[in-house]
Amino acid sequence: MSDPTTWPAEKLDRTADIIGALDSPSRIQILLLLHNRDHVVHELVRVLGKSQPLVSQHLRVLKDAGLVGATRSGREVVYSLAVPGVIATLESLSLLAERTQEEPKDELAERRKRTPDFIDASKSSGAAAAFGPLHEVTPDKDPGLKPDTPAPPS
Q: Is residue 39 part of a domain?
A: yes
End-to-end CA distance of the chain: 84
Q: What's the CA angle centered on 120, arms 115 and 125, to 5 degrees?
A: 135
Q: Is residue 3 part of a domain?
A: no
Q: Is residue 129 part of a domain?
A: no
Q: Is residue 43 part of a domain?
A: yes
Coil, strand or helix: which one is 76?
strand
Q: Is residue 58 part of a domain?
A: yes
Q: Is residue 144 part of a domain?
A: no
Q: Is residue 145 part of a domain?
A: no
- Rounded to the nearest integer, the mean pLDDT of the chain is 82
pLDDT of residue 128: 56
SS3 content of the chain, % helix, strand, coil (to 5): 50, 10, 40
Share of the chain above pLDDT 90, in %: 49
Coil, strand or helix: which one is 69?
strand
Give the pTM: 0.62
Q: What is the number of domains present in the chain?
A: 1
For residues 124-134, average pLDDT: 58
pLDDT of residue 110: 73
* Contact call for residues 53 and 65 (beta carbons, < 8 A): no
Q: Which domain holds residue 76?
A: 9-101
Residue 9 exposure: Cα atoms within 13 Å on the Cβ side: 0
Query: Between the ranges 9-23, 38-52, 97-111, 133-147, where is the mean pLDDT highest?
Result: 38-52
Please report which confidence band the pLDDT of residue 104 belongs to, taking 50, 70 and 90 as the band edges: low
pLDDT of residue 57: 97
Q: Which residues contact 5 (CB under 8 A, 6 or more apart)?
A: none
For residues 121-141, average pLDDT: 59
For residues 27-52, average pLDDT: 96
Check whether 146 has a pLDDT greater than 90.
no
Check whether 131 has a pLDDT greater than 70.
no
The CATH number covering residue 19 comes to 1.10.10.10
Residue 39's nearest CA partner among 70, 82, 83 is 70
Q: Is residue 48 part of a domain?
A: yes
